[in-house]
């Protein structure tokens, strides 16, 4: 062999690479579009993010058709973040350096969200985290440049607490996916329940590998502990497996169940007629929300895509709405001004008005709590109640203690 040939081509390749891929970033001018660099785990979480993207695109279309923000149209540049922080950071860099994004938004997975938030802090870029649920994003590791839209793990758990406390059961079991989201949901649940009901006993705790629950043994182990109530954090395929096994084994008969996220169409619909009747869940009952804001959104969405929205649609739509509102308030896309504008920013979304709190940068958008039932061979949430995010968030004073890192 002649290594030299290899090398010559390597060199050529490298030169080619540089010239091909590195298109110079254009300097921003006044009538330029507002560039939203959006990154998300489209490939890793398609069930949630497909509707999410549709929601975003709908919002962008609506806003641009109405003349944009201060005359500037929105331009959405979407990227896959590879489902891991390493790729996500590179993508974020690319959005900022090459695409000249003014704002970064998106992310689904908590660790990706946290890494991008850290990147935003470091590079002083405005970042609106759309989906990640981890409490750390706004509290322990919160920073000046990061805001979050979706109700956090803590908030979602807190929304279920009235139901959990209300049934006055003593023996609780918990089943959760074994990663930060599940762990912190379980911890929060235990803490809040103990505070309200000191004599509560947690008789079983099953931490299952994400996406690989051994449903039979897990359902059986829960049943063997003879709980009279269960807190479930499983979702997705894990939830489907667990519910089917529990049904067949009668493992949860007579047991009261509260469950996180299970009312979201993304997770409820695949269960079809096996949806666990009687569970109290958080979710998105698009079929029974009658507010005019939601009605308008629902009509526009169904018109555009010919299918009902999922929770992801709401999140995507509201993310873009939030950015538009923020840019309008800030009078432009200057990062520092945007950050200041988002503190206390009021946004109107399909769920009604909500605020980005100045204290912890968390949006007060809420979620629905309801009880699962069957209707036409399909699981639905009945008697859903909208719980305002503000009502379950700690006070500003408490939050200040929770945010040591932020300025």
Partner 1 sequence: MSLDSLLFQAVNGLASASGLFLVAAGLSVIFGVTRIVNMAHGSFYMLGLYIAVTLAPLLGEHLGGAAGFWGGIAGATLAVALLGAAVERVLLRRLYNAPELYQLLATFALLLIINDAALFLWGPEDILGPRAPGLSGSVELLGRRLPQYDVFLALIGPVVLVGLHLLLTRTRFGRLIRAATQDREMVAALGINEALLFTAVFALGAGIAGFGGALQMAREPASLSLDLSVLGEAFVVVVVGGMGSIKGAYLAAVLVAEVKALCTALGVIEIAGYTFNMSWLTLVAEFLVMAVVLVLRPHGLFGRALAATKAGEAEPPLLPLDRRGRALVLAAILLFAAMPLIGMFFRYAPVLALDMVIAALFAASLHFVMGPGGMASFGHAAYFGLGAYGTAFAATQLGLSTPLAFATGIGTAAAGAALFGWFCVRLEGVYFTMLTLAFAQIVWSIVYQWEDVTGGSNGLFGVWPDWPFDSRAGLYLAALAVALGGLALLRRIVFAPFGLALRAGRDSRLRAEASGIPVARVRWLSFALAGTLCGAAGGLFAFAKGSISPEAISVGRSIDGLVMVLLGGVQSLMGPLLGAGAFTLLQDTVMRETDYWRALLGLVILVLVLLFPFGIAGGLRRVARLRRAGGAR
Q: Contacts with partner 1 in 223-242 (CB under 8 A)? A: 223-225, 236-237, 240-241
Check residue 308 for interaction with partner 1 (CB under 8 A): no
Per CB under 8 A, 28 contacts partner 1: no
Residue of the chain from 57, 64, 220, 371 that contacts partner 1 (CB under 8 A) = 220
Identify any residues that bridge with 46 across adjacent strands, giving them in sequence order. Answer: none
148: which strand partners? Answer: 129, 362
Candidates 61-69, 214-222, 336-344, 369-377: pick the segment binding partner 1 (CB under 8 A).
Answer: 214-222
Closest to partner 1 by CB, 307 vs 396, is 307
200 binds partner 1 (CB under 8 A): no
The pairing of strands 346-349 and 280-283 is unpaired
Tell whether residue 334 is a contact of partner 1 (CB under 8 A).
no
Q: Indicate whether 58 belongs to the interface with partner 1 (CB under 8 A).
A: no
* Least distance from partner 1 to the Cβ atom of residue 241, Å: 4
Q: List the structure tokens of 289.
A: 């929300």
The least CB distance from residue 15 to partner 1, in Å, is 7
Phi and psi dihedrals of 363, rounded to 5?
-75, 150
237 to 266, contacts with partner 1 by CB under 8 A?
Answer: 237, 240-241, 244-245, 248-250, 266
| Smallest separation (angstroms) from partner 1 to the CB of 133 | 11
- The DSSP line for 3-29 is HHHHHHHHHHHHHHHHHHH-PPPPPP-
Q: Whole-angstrom Cα distance, residue 237 to residue 231?
A: 17
Distance in Å, CB of 30 to partner 1, minimum:
22
Determine the Cα–Cα distance for residues 376 and 252; give it in Å rounded to an integer: 23
**Contact pick of 67, 166, 209, 331 for partner 1 (by CB under 8 A):** 209
Residue among 67 and 209 whose Cβ is closer to partner 1:
209
Q: Taking a C-beta distance cutoff of 8 angstroms, is the pair 159, 369 a contact?
A: yes
Q: SS3 for 135-203, per residue?
A: HHHCCCCCCCCEEECCCCHHHHHHHHHHHHHHCCCCEEEEEEECCHHHHHHHHHHHHHHHHHCCCCEEE
Using the rule CB under 8 A, is 272 a contact of partner 1?
A: yes
Q: For partner 1, which residue of 1, 30, 66, 397 counts as binding (CB under 8 A)?
A: 1
Among 28, 207, 343, 390, binds partner 1 (CB under 8 A): 207
Pair 100, 28: CB distance under 8 Å:
yes
One of 58, 74, 76, 89 touching partner 1 (CB under 8 A): 89
Report if residue 149 touches partner 1, rule: CB under 8 A: no
Does 78 help bind partner 1 (rule: CB under 8 A)?
A: yes
Gap between the Cα atoms of 106 and 135, Å rounded: 16
> 286-302: string of b/e by CB count within 10 Å (b at 16+)?
beebeeeebeebbebbe
Residue among 70, 214, 293, 340 that touches partner 1 (CB under 8 A):
214
Shortest distance, position 366 Cβ to partner 1, whole Å:
25
| Touching partner 1, residues 104-123 (CB under 8 A) | 110-112, 114-115, 117-119, 122
Please give the Cα distance from 182 to 189 (Å, whole number): 10
Q: Kindly state the number of chain residues that form the binding site for partner 1, as judged by CB under 8 A.
A: 95
The full DSSP string for 249-287 is: HTTTTT-EEEEEEEESHHHHGGGGGG--TT-EEEE--GG
To the nearest whole angstrom, how small is the minimum distance from the Cβ of residue 44 to partner 1? 8
């Amino acid at each position: 062999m002649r290594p030299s040939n290899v090398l010559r081509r390597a060199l050529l390749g490298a030169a080619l690479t540089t010239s091909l891929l590195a298109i110079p970033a254009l300097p921003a001018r006044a009538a330029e579009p507002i560039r939203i660099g959006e990154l998300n785990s489209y490939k890793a979480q398609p069930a949630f993010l497909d509707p999410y993207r549709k929601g975003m695109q709908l919002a962008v279309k609506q806003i641009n058709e109405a003349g944009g923000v201060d005359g500037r149209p929105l331009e959405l540049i979407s990227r896959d973040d590879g489902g891991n922080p390493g790729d996500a950071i590179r993508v974020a860099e690319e959005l900022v350096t090459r695409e000249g994004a003014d704002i970064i938004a998106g992310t689904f997975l908590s660790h990706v969200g946290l890494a991008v938030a850290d990147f935003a802090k470091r590079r002083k870029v405005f970042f609106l985290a759309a989906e990640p649920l981890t409490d750390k994003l706004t509290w322990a590791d919160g920073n000046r440049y990061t805001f979050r839209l979706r109700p956090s793990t803590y908030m979602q758990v807190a929304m279920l607490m009235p139901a959990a406390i209300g049934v006055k059961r003593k023996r609780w079991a918990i089943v959760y996916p074994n990663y930060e989201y599940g762990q912190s949901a379980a911890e929060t649940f235990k803490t809040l329940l103990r505070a309200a009901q000191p004599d509560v006993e947690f008789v079983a705790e099953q931490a299952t590998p994400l996406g690989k629950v051994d449903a039979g043994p897990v359902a059986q182990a829960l049943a063997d502990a003879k709980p009279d109530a269960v807190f479930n954090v499983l979702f997705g395929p894990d939830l489907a497996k667990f519910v089917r096994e529990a049904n067949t084994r009668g493992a949860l008969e007579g047991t009261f169940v509260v469950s996180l996220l299970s009312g979201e169409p993304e997770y409820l619909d695949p269960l079809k007629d096996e949806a666990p009747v009687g569970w109290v869940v958080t979710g998105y009952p698009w079929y029974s929300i009658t507010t005019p804001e939601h009605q308008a959104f629902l009509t526009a969405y169904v018109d555009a895509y010919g299918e009902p929205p999922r929770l992801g649609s709401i999140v995507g739509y509201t993310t873009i709405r939030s950015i538009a509102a923020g840019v309008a308030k800030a009078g432009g896309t200057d990062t520092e001004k945007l950050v200041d504008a988002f503190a206390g920013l009021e946004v109107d979304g399909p769920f009604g008005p909500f605020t980005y709190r100045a204290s912890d940068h968390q949006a007060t958008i809420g979620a629905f709590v309801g009880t699962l039932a069957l209707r036409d061979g399909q699981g639905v949430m009945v008697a859903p109640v909208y719980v305002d995010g503000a009502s379950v968030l700690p006070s500003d004073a408490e939050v200040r203690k929770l945010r040591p890192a932020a300025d």
